[in-house]
Structure 1
Amino acid sequence: MSVTERPIAEPSRLAHFPVTFFAIGMGMMGLTLATRAAETAFSLANGASLAVLTLSILLLGLVTFGYLLKATFHRSEVAAEWRHPVRIAFFPAISIAFLLMAAALVDVAPHIAKPVWILATVLQGGLALSVISAWIGHRPFQTGMMTPAWFIPAVGNVIVPLAGARLGFTEISWLFFSAGLIFWIVLLTLVMNRLMFHEPMPGKMAPTLMILVAPPAVAFTSWVRLTGETGPFGHVLLSVGYVFALVVATQVLKLRKLPFALSWWALSFPIAALSVASFVYSHAAASEAHRWIGAGLLALLLIVVAGLILRTAVAIREGGICIPE
């Protein structure tokens, strides 16, 4: 066969290693925090949360290593993801995963949590501003391109105080918290308009509907970390989280019929966030009901994460992930 007749080699799977893999890091770190909150609520030893934290750090490390390799050897593919109208919103999942790791490390290794938090906060600020700049720039975004995944940059901002307030970075935490809240309100209006008045989301993105739960749930926990109390505003945030959880629950039967994709990991972190918020409110208000709501959500989260890990492993083995779309 002559040189001109040779088939063109297909790009390696590494070239198609998606930034959405960082949703795994978010989900696992969320599980760590929810497990830790349950141990505190039920006065248990922290052995389970340490085990989950170890596994979460390992998985996040593997995902980070994989994406760094992609960024080194396939820069054009990374640039293509940045230009993608949906995947661009997943880039702040990188910094969010590490912010959550810092929050999980505050109690067990504060000397490690501090530098991780600082680096992740700087990265979150840069990514959030870059994504928002792309949204309001000259790129032709259409309403149909919007999904609840667009909340991810805003969610990242309200996560900053989880560790930041405890590490003494109060003013920076308030700055990010305020930015997260205002963009959550703006994006909530746009996303609800898209969901109600336009075509249904593509099947792969339908699980991102669960992301509606995350901003108010995380914001409630950050609010308590910053103020030391729940207050009326905290009540509103937690209640809104429950309301959105009930709204998403009405769509469960539809979601069950969809094929697996990495976007299914979007189910995990919001459940974790609402579980943590319930435990936090239980402690602040001495509410036994909220303690058991948190426990129920944690049990659901364990089932969801176990299923996601299994489905992800099967998809990797069968070559259903890291393929061109």
Structure 2
Amino acid sequence: MEVMQEVEQNRLKFFPIMMYATVMGMSGLTIMYQKAALWLGFSALIGEVLMAITTLLFGVISVIYITKFLKYRAAVKKEFSHPVRINFFAAVSISMLMLAIIYKEHYPFVAALFWYPGAALHFYLTMHTISFWINNNQELDHSNPAWFIPIVGNVLIPVAGVGFASQGVLLYFFSTGIFFWVILFAILLNRIIFHHQMANKFMPTMFILIAPPAVGFIAYVKIYEVVDTFAMILFNLALFFTFLIAFMYKNFIKIKFFISWWAFVFPVAAMAISTMLMYQQTQDLPLLVLAYTMIALTSVIITIVIYQTLIHMQKGDICVQE
């Protein structure tokens, strides 16, 4: 009995901040089906069920991680100063912002409860992460697409922020995210081409390359309510990275399961949403075909990821010391 209790305590101690990536993935899936119901005639019930599941998941993970903070504060501080894991703390604020998007249409008050603290927390994490990079020498081998999460995540703030803040405030976050997307992409491309390949467990984060232009496109259309040349550039860049990842599919099919597999879901869902939005704006038939394809692909991917997560939870492979 004592041994079992010790194992459970160790599991809590090693409960990773990356678990919030599951909320990001489920949030992306939820928003995708909400928009599919709005624009493509899907059943609204799917989005409502997913909304409840995603909210519950966020609550459960938050309770567990807060408990970890109270019992193993040193372990949390260690994660917060880790050159790779520090980037995943922004998954907390991004999860809150995505929940704000989920609730914005029908429950704006609930959306506001998520958006204001989520935006404030993300502002802090952006400043903290950049300060951390400046004050500590970073190894190039530590760089991976997860670096996009705390900085480029700023482009997500305007998506649910219309009506909650002025256009000037929303453009501040949008500008910050777009600027650092270009900078960080240049750094990552240099690392990927001219230096050592990423560790296998970080390969799924390559999917994150799709997210900045896809979410940037959605945010831009939300702010200006128009699809102009810049919006088209963002959408086409997201499309390019989607094609690139699809072309490199062999790089991903034999990767051993890590919790980073959840990085597959959110970017693909974001591309599905941006495709539906572009179709809604242009009524271009190939975009409708692409939208259905992305919805199906996202659904298949998350089914596989959820299945693998449950299997490895049962085996006790998650929440263990690396």
What secondary structure is seen at the aligned counterpart in 2 of 1:43?
coil
- Work out the CA distance in 2 between the residues paired with 1:9 and 1:22: 22
Aligned to 1:184: 181
Pick one of 222, 227, 232 that aligns with 1:225: 222
Distance 1:76 1:40, change over 3 A: same
Comparing 76-85 and 180-189, the one that deviates more: 76-85
TM-score (norm: length of structure 2): 0.95
Which residue of structure 2 aligns with residue 211 of structure 1?
208
Name the SS for the 2:129 alignment partner.
helix
Residues 21 and 263, structure 2, Cα contact 8 Å, conserved in 1: yes
| Residue type at the aligned position of 1:276 | I
Contact 2:69 2:76 in 1 (8 A): yes
Conserved 8 A contact 2:159-2:219: yes
> Tell me, what secondary structure is at the counterpart of 1:259?
coil
Among residues 123, 129, 142, which one is paired with 2:127 in the alignment? 129
2-side partners of 1:166 and 1:243: how far apart? 32
Aligned to 1:89: 87
Shift of 1:115: 2.1
Provide, for residues 221-276 of structure 1, a one-character-per-residue CA deviation record: whole Å limited to 9, x for no partner.
00000000110000000000011112112322121111100001000000011000
Per the alignment, residue 5 of structure 1 pairs with none
2:173 and 2:234 map into 1 onto residues whose CA distance is: 17
Which residue of structure 1 lines up, in the alignment, with residue 269 of structure 2? 272
Specify the code of the residue in structure 2 equivalent to 1:147: N
Correspondence for 2:3: none
| Number of the residue aligned with 1:147 | 144
* 1:52 paired residue number: 50
Provide, for residues 56-96 of structure 1, a one-character-per-residue CA deviation record: whole Å limited to 9, x for no partner.
Answer: 11111111111111111111111111121111111101000
Change (3 A) 1:114 1:140: same
Question: Is the Cα contact below 8 Å between 1:154 and 1:183 reproduced in 2?
Answer: yes
* Alignment match of 1:17 (pick from 15, 18, 39): 15
Which deviates more from structure 2 when the two are superposed, residues 153-162 or residues 90-99? 153-162
Structure 2 counterpart SS, 1:64: helix
Identity of aligned residues (%): 32
Secondary structure (helix, strand or coil) at the match of 1:17 reads: coil
Corresponding residue for residue 68 of structure 1: 66
Distance in 1, matches of 2:152 and 2:100, equals: 16
Instruction: Name the CA distance, whole Å, in 2 between partners of 1:66 and 1:288.
Output: 46
**What RMSD in Å do the two structures reach over aligned CA positions?**
1.5
Select between 32-41 and 163-172 the one with higher mean Cα deviation: 163-172
8 Å CA contact 1:161, 1:226 repeated in 2: yes
2:25 aligns with 27
Q: In the alignment, what sits opposite 1:174?
A: 171
Name the residue aligned to 1:245: 242
Q: Which runs of 4+ in 1 moved over 4 A?
A: 8-11
Report the alpha carbon displacement of residue 10 of structure 1 after superposing the two structures with TM. 9.8
Counterparts of 1:249 and 1:28 in 2: how far apart (Å)?
A: 21
Q: What is the CA–CA distance in structure 2 between the aligned matches of 1:289 and 1:250, rounded to whole Å?
A: 19
Q: Is the 8 A contact 1:41 1:291 kept in 2?
A: no
Cα distance change, pair 199–100 in 1 and its aligned pair in 2 (3 A): same
Q: Tell me if the contact between 2:39 and 2:280 (Cα under 8 Å) persists in the aligned partners.
A: yes
State the AA in 2 paired with 1:298: I
Q: 1:44 to 1:69 in 2, by over 3 A?
A: same
Q: Is the 8 A contact 2:152 2:180 kept in 1?
A: no
Query: Relative to structure 1, is the Cα distance of residues 204 and 9 closer, same or farther in structure 2, using a 3 angstrom cutoff?
Result: closer
1:3 maps to: none
Q: Does 1:293 align with 2:290?
A: yes
Change over 3 Å in CA distance of 1:31–1:169 after alignment to 2: farther
Answer with 284-293 or 254-263: which moved more. Answer: 284-293
Q: How many residues align?
A: 317
- Offset, 1:169: 3.7
Residues 152 and 176, structure 2, Cα contact 8 Å, conserved in 1: no
User: CA offsets per residue over residues 100-134 of structure 1, 9 Å max, x none?
Assistant: 00011001211111121001000010111101110
Match 2:153 to one of 151, 156, 168: 156
TM-score, length-scaled by structure 1: 0.94
Which residue of the other structure, out of 107, 110, 113, is the alignment partner of 1:112?
110
Q: What displacement does 1:167 show?
A: 3.6
Measure the CA separation in 1 of the matches of 2:244 and 2:134.
Answer: 29
Contact 1:282–1:291 under 8 Å retained in 2: yes
String of CA shifts for 1:153-193, please: whole Å, max 9, x gaps. 12320000111014454222111111101111110100111
**Unaligned stretches of 5+ in structure 1?**
1-7
